Structure 1
Amino acid sequence: MSAIRDHLGIHADALALRETRTKLLASNIANAGTPHFKARDFDFTAALERARSDGGRAGTTHPRHIALGASGAADPGYRVPVNPALDGNTVELNVEQMEFAENTLGYMTSLQLLNGKISGLKRAIKGQ
């Protein structure tokens, strides 16, 4: 199983982290009008480095424990607003939409690269 994970490379971890970040950014956008809501996000590059350095797995204490995937490497923090709102909400809709679009593009790129690698594995298994 490790050989397949090694073949898929960084894109499997990136896909899991992009999914987690998409959920955070969507939550920020959905709560743009909620008073005192604090926008959350995490540094994707740093989270991906942490996921790759620890193998993308959280530590387990027993062989029968289930290891967490790369999404456990994301440590969301609070976004500091450029223009703070009077109601205490730190969501800046234009920033969130830009980050969401950028994250979606990265998700699609990782997905396409993974599809290519999986197609190559299928061809190798079939002997083509």
Structure 2
Amino acid sequence: MAINFESALGIHQHTLGIRAQRTEILAGNIANADTPNYKARDIDFKDALQSARSRSGMSLTRTNESHKSAQSFSLAQSGELFRTGNQPDTGDGNTVDVEVERNLFMKNSMEYQASLDFLNSKISGLRKAIKGQ
């Protein structure tokens, strides 16, 4: 009997990918804190999760039969947004508030770890079921 990973792992596989993408976006915001006219970006987690669960997905091109098949993930499909600045414009058009970005990055890191722990728990349960424990 084949294992359906979609139902076995539940939503956690999707949350992990979205949290990883959000980490990249928040890190990019922090890295561009001094870049003129840079607009802080973020992902609406709820919309991104809905999109990840409902999309049919596009296959990536495989150049060799031994390559694993995968699905692409576009931020444009997942609800990437520009954040409105909390601080007054300093004249350079940059909307990044480093303290806000660091706090969001830290919160996202904790949520990523929680998703990883949930996913690890699911995989551990599957291993036990396979071993008959």
The two structures have a TM-score, normalised by structure 1, of 0.84
* Alignment match, 1:52: 53
- Tell me whether 1:126 sits opposite 2:131 in the alignment: yes
CA deviation string 1:64-110 (max 9, x = no partner): xx5525x4342312111022331111101111111111111110000
Counterpart of 1:77 in structure 2: which amino acid? L
**Pairs aligned (count):** 121
Q: Structure 1 stretches (4+) deviating beyond 4 angstroms?
A: none
* Alignment match, 1:28: 29
* Alignment match, 1:63: none
* Alignment match, 1:37: 38
Identity of aligned residues (%): 45
* Alignment match, 2:81: 77
* Alignment match, 1:68: 71
Distance in 1 (CA, whole Å) between partners of 2:33 and 2:42 is 14
Structure 1 or 2: larger helix share?
1
Distance in 2 (CA, whole Å) between partners of 1:95 and 1:105 is 16
Maintained 8 Å contact 2:37/2:94: yes
* Alignment match, 1:101: 106
Structure 1 position 59, deviation (Å): 4.6
CA RMSD of superposed structures (Å): 2.0
3-state SS of the aligned residue for 1:77? strand
